[in-house]
Chain A
Amino acid sequence: DGGITQSPKYLFRKEGQNVTLSCEQNLNHDAMYWYRQDPGQGLRLIYYSQIVNDFQKGDIAEGYSVSREKKESFPLTVTSAQKNPTAFYLCASTQGGRGYYFGPGTRLTVL
Chain B
Amino acid sequence: AQSVTQLGSHVSVSEGALVLLRCNYSSSVPPYLFWYVQYPNQGLQLLLKYTSAATLVKGINGFEAEFKKSETSFHLTKPSAHMSDAAEYFCAVSLSGGSNYKLTFGKGTLLTVNP
- Could you list which residues of chain A lie within 8 angstroms of chain B, going by C-beta atoms? 31, 33, 35, 40-45, 48, 50, 56, 58, 88, 90, 92, 94, 96-100, 102-105, 107
Contacts and interface: CB of A to CB of B under 8 A. Distances in A.
B106 A98 contact: no
Interface of B: 9, 32, 34, 36, 41-44, 46, 49, 51, 90, 92, 94-96, 98-108
A47 to B, nearest CB: 11
A48 B43 contact: no
Contact of B108 (A42, A45, A98, A99): A42
Nearest to A100: B103
B102 A48 contact: yes
Given A42-B108, A43-B105, A48-B100, A97 B43 contact: no
A44 B90 CA distance: 12
The 6 A-B residue pairs with the shortest CB-CB distance, nearest first, are: A97-B101, A42-B107, A43-B105, A102-B44, A42-B105, A104-B43
A99 B46 contact: yes
Contacts, number: 59
A43 B34 contact: no
B44 A90 contact: yes
A104 B105 CA distance: 17
A41 B106 CA distance: 8
Nearest to B101: A97
B105 A97 contact: no
B106 to A, nearest CB: 6
21 contacts: A31-B100, A35-B105, A40-B108, A43-B90, A44-B105, A48-B100, A48-B102, A58-B102, A94-B101, A96-B101, A97-B32, A97-B94, A97-B96, A97-B98, A97-B101, A99-B49, A100-B34, A100-B46, A102-B36, A104-B43, A105-B41
A98 B96 CA distance: 8
A103 B43 contact: yes
A33 B103 contact: yes
